């Protein structure tokens, strides 16, 4: 929601970007809306700093992050004072038993839900300080999301699913189509542009979801059990794809998972239990364990 002023009658209008005429005098508002969008984007760039100019070592930080779900009279503690620093370009897996708080942590870092207490910073920006518009801007451009159940829009083709976040980011049509094709090629689906989700296999749907997550060149990809609904082989292909993206485009990957195959590609594995970080394994520890298993 943004506030603009009608250039004809001066009416103050709250707009979601869908209605493009003034409700009072029916003047065309598209030009003012476009100018307001550009101005907000410029303002956001100073709040949420651009990757090319930031050098923060840690792309995500959480401090004393707490989440308590209230169910009527009952309080369900899902996260208890989680402190986590994620380095730029890192591949981080979050592992833990069912109900340990992985998705809850994912939702807090992704700005999909608000913590009960504590803070979460994305590139040193405290998410709690952002208003609804700023948070939507950050989610759209800085973070790509991948879910266990793919979450593609069923009535849209692969290409339409991928270009949707680009529309929200205000990208022009030609650029959007080029980028959509490039991304679908990259995930090996250059020949499936016009397929709707039900015309694709599970693995292919998840590839479309990976491409969609990358639509606006995010700094972070958050994946919640991305291989949970896939067979062993297809799951491995998605993990390899995520690792390639991480290595070649430097995108930071944070993935909640039960999948032991994910350990192999991770720089660190955060083990959580009952909403608390139990221990953190580093690449070197993991290599040692894997090496030790053959002895």
Shortest distance, position 148 Cβ to Mg ion, whole Å: 8
Mark residue 80 as left, alpha or beta (left: phi above 0; alpha: psi -120 to 50; beta: remaining): beta
- Separation between Cα atoms, residue 184 and residue 210, nearest integer Å: 9
Shortest distance, position 105 Cβ to ligand ATP, whole Å: 7
For Mg ion, which is the closer residue by CB, 15 or 151? 151
Number of residues near Mg ion (by CB under 5 A): 2
For Mg ion, which is the closer residue by CB, 78 or 183? 78
Shortest distance, position 50 Cβ to ligand ATP, whole Å: 32
Site for Mg ion in 83-102 (CB under 5 A): 102
For Mg ion, which is the closer residue by CB, 110 or 180? 110
Which of ligand ATP, Mg ion, none does 212 bind, CB closer than 5 to 8 A by kind?
A: none
Which element (helix H / strand E) includes 105?
helix 102-109
Which of Mg ion, ligand ATP, none does 101 bind, CB closer than 5 to 8 A by kind?
A: ligand ATP
Q: How many CB atoms neighbour CB 290 within 10 A?
A: 11
- Separation between Cα atoms, residue 226 and residue 168, nearest integer Å: 24
- Site residues, ligand ATP (CB under 6 A): 69, 71, 76, 78, 96, 98-104
For ligand ATP, which is the closer residue by CB, 101 or 118? 101
Q: Which residue is nearest to Mg ion (CB)?
A: 103
Site for Mg ion in 46-75 (CB under 5 A): none
For Mg ion, which is the closer residue by CB, 51 or 225? 225
| Token code pair at residue 208 | 């479309």
- Separation between Cα atoms, residue 271 and residue 5, nearest integer Å: 51
For ligand ATP, which is the closer residue by CB, 15 or 116? 116
Shortest distance, position 101 Cβ to ligand ATP, whole Å: 4
The residue length of the chain stands at 295
Shortest distance, position 108 Cβ to ligand ATP, whole Å: 10
Shortest distance, position 226 Cβ to Mg ion, whole Å: 12
The answer to the question of residue 205 lying near Mg ion (CB under 5 A) is no
- Separation between Cα atoms, residue 236 and residue 228, nearest integer Å: 11
- The secondary structure of residue 99, as a DSSP letter, is T
The answer to the question of residue 103 lying near Mg ion (CB under 5 A) is yes
For ligand ATP, which is the closer residue by CB, 72 or 291? 72
**Per DSSP, what are the bridge partners of residue 82?**
65
Which of Mg ion, ligand ATP, none does 100 bind, CB closer than 5 to 8 A by kind?
A: ligand ATP
Q: Tell me, rounded to whole angstroms, the distance of Cα 254 from its chain centroid.
A: 9
* Crossing angle (nearest 10°) for helices 30-47 and 132-142: 80
Contact between 13 and 23 under an 8 Å Cβ cutoff? The reply is yes
Q: Where are the beta strands (DSSP E) in 72-129?
A: 74-87, 91-95, 117-122, 125-126
Question: Where on the chain is the footprint of Mg ion (CB under 5 A)?
Answer: 102-103
């Amino acid at each position: 929601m943004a506030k603009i002023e009608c250039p004809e009658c001066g009416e103050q209008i709250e707009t979601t970007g869908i209605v493009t005429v003034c409700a009072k005098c029916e003047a065309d508002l598209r030009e003012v809306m476009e100018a307001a969008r550009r101005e907000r984007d410029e303002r956001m760039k100073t709040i949420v700093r651009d990757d090319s100019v930031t050098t923060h070592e840690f792309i995500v930080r959480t401090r004393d992050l707490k989440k308590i779900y209230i169910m009527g009279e009952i309080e369900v503690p899902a996260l208890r004072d989680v402190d986590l620093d994620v380095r730029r370009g890192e591949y981080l897996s979050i592992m833990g038993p069912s109900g340990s708080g992985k998705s809850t942590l994912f939702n807090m870092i992704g700005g999909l839900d608000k913590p009960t207490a504590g803070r979460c910073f994305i590139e040193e920006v405290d998410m709690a300080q952002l208003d609804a518009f700023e948070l939507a801007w950050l989610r759209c451009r800085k973070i790509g999301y991948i879910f266990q159940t793919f979450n593609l829009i069923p009535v849209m083709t692969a290409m339409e699913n991928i270009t949707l976040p680009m529309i929200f980011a205000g990208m022009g049509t030609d650029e959007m189509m080029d980028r959509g094709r490039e991304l679908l090629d990259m995930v090996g689906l250059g020949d499936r542009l016009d397929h709707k989700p039900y015309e694709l296999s599970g693995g292919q749907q998840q590839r479309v979801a990976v491409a969609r997550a990358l639509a606006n060149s995010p700094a972070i990809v958050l994946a919640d059990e991305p291989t949970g609904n896939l067979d062993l082989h297809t799951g491995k292909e998605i993990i390899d794809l995520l690792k390639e993206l991480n290595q070649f485009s430097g995108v930071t990957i944070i993935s909640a998972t039960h999948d032991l195959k994910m350990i192999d590609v991770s720089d660190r594995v955060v083990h959580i239990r009952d909403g608390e970080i139990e221990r953190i394994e580093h690449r070197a520890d993991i290599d040692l364990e894997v090496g030790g298993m053959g002895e």
